[in-house]
Amino acid sequence: MQSLPISLCMIVRNEAAHLPATLRSVRDAVAEMIVVDTGSTDGTASVAEQWGARVRRTVWADDFSAARNLSLTEAKEPWILMLDGDERLADGSGPRLQELVRAPADVVAYLVQQRTPTRSSAQNGMVRLEWLPRLFRNGQGARYTGAVHECILPSLAGRGRIEHTDLVIEHDGY
């Protein structure tokens, strides 16, 4: 698949063991991968660079929004996909991503399904499902607020439609 006009943006810390799965899940679909490292001591930055990501190092300031917003300043593509180090796009997501980035101009963001297995999922198959704004247009004034439980939706309100999608992020939640 040809890469899409999407910047992957991530903030990470000590994710060397998990980062390859995340980057593998998106590398053929996105045009660029931006990883903001907030003080890893396990070689996370080197792993990200080996996978072709552009790494920006910063000192952790106890503020998730500040780190996420730093990653947004590095993004050059028209769309941004935000993932964490314990997440990955579900297999086969490329064609759906391709459809989504061809959205009408009034769509500014998509709420993506994040699926997290519960502790007992091995026995009963249960997962927690959340809809999160993880795919959104660049250049629309998108900014995260809140040091913890950061949110981007207030900055997108009134700028266009925010749609639900069937795109899935698998979340390990280790």
> pLDDT tens for residues 89-137?
999 999 999 999 999 999 999 999 999 887 766 567 778 889 999 999 9
User: Model confidence at 63, in pLDDT bands (50, 70, 90)?
Assistant: very high
pLDDT above 90: residue 2:
no
Mean pLDDT, rounded, for 78-96: 95
| Share above pLDDT 90 across residues of the chain, in percent, rounded to a whole number | 86
What per-residue confidence (pLDDT) applies to 5? 97
Enter the tokens of residue 147. 């040091």
pLDDT above 90: residue 39:
yes
pLDDT above 90: residue 143:
yes
| Share above pLDDT 70 across residues of the chain, in percent, rounded to a whole number | 95
pLDDT above 70: residue 1:
no
pLDDT tens for each residue of 22-32: 999 999 999 99
pLDDT tens for each residue of 145-162: 989 899 999 999 999 999
In sign, the C-alpha dihedral spanning 147, 139, 36, 133 is: positive
Mean pLDDT of the chain: 93
| Cα–Cα distances in angstroms (integers) from residue 171 to residues 29, 106, 126, 132, in the given order | 19, 29, 13, 12
